[in-house]
């Protein structure tokens, strides 16, 4: 069978279609491993991502959770993730982010961009941004309890109850 020039456009289309990767199949990278390939820590996504899609040509990225997810970090920041998180990913930059918001004072603001700058991550809600050390994102937070979890429940509550039992 000879290679025909008319076959070339079909092969280009097929290769472009295959670059749209899904985590559903065996042997595929996890969403967390994809983040690491773009120099991001796994902890910018919560535990429990059920799948993802990545268009390698455009960087369009979607991650899927079983439902919406919310938690507090260090009793200061409250975060909410929708069941679908979308954005455009490239090395050290996640832009056009949709599906993640943070509570600042009394207002929920959408996080629209995340940039890595050496050992810091900069989170932008538009005109305002805040930087945090990279080591804060080495572990994935868990829906409901963030990083203070024991069996999916708030660890501080458990510790306070335990300490109260010893001292009281």
Average pLDDT over residues 139-163: 62
Enter the tokens of residue 126.
């538009």
Per-residue pLDDT, 26: 54
**Nearest CA among 64, 84, 76 for reference residue 147:** 76
Whether 148 is covered by a domain: the verdict is: yes
Instruction: Give how many domains the chain has, as a whole number.
Output: 1
Per-residue pLDDT, 4: 44
pLDDT tens profile 12-40: 333 333 333 444 445 789 999 999 999 99
Whether 139 is covered by a domain: the verdict is: yes
CATH number at residue 52: 2.30.240
Per-residue pLDDT, 37: 96
Average pLDDT over residues 78-95: 97
Whether 26 is covered by a domain: the verdict is: yes
Enter the tokens of residue 75.
């009793």
Whether 121 is covered by a domain: the verdict is: yes
Whether 77 is covered by a domain: the verdict is: yes
Q: Which residues of 119-138 are buried (b: 16+ CB within 10 A; e: fewer)?
A: eebebbbeeeeeeeebeebe
Q: Determine the structural domain holding residue 43 and report its residue range.
A: 17-167
Whether 7 is covered by a domain: the verdict is: no
Whether 5 is covered by a domain: the verdict is: no
- Radius of gyration of the chain from its Cα atoms, rounded to whole angstroms: 20
Whether 1 is covered by a domain: the verdict is: no
């Amino acid at each position: 069978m000879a290679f025909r020039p008319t076959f070339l456009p079909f092969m280009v289309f097929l290769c472009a279609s295959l670059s749209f990767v899904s985590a559903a199949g065996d042997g595929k990278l996890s969403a967390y491993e994809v983040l690491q390939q773009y120099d991001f820590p796994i902890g910018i996504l919560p535990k429990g991502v059920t799948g993802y899609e990545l268009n390698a040509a455009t960087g369009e990225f979607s991650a899927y959770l079983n439902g919406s997810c919310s938690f507090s970090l260090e009793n200061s920041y409250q975060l909410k993730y929708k069941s679908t998180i979308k954005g455009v990913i490239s090395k050290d930059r996640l832009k056009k982010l949709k599906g993640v918001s943070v509570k600042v004072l009394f207002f929920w603001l959408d996080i629209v961009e995340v940039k890595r700058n050496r050992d810091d991550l900069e989170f932008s809600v538009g005109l305002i941004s805040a930087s945090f050390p990279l080591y804060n994102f080495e572990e994935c937070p868990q829906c409901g309890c963030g990083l203070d979890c024991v069996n999916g429940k708030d660890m501080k509550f458990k510790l306070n109850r335990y300490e109260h039992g010893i001292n009281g």
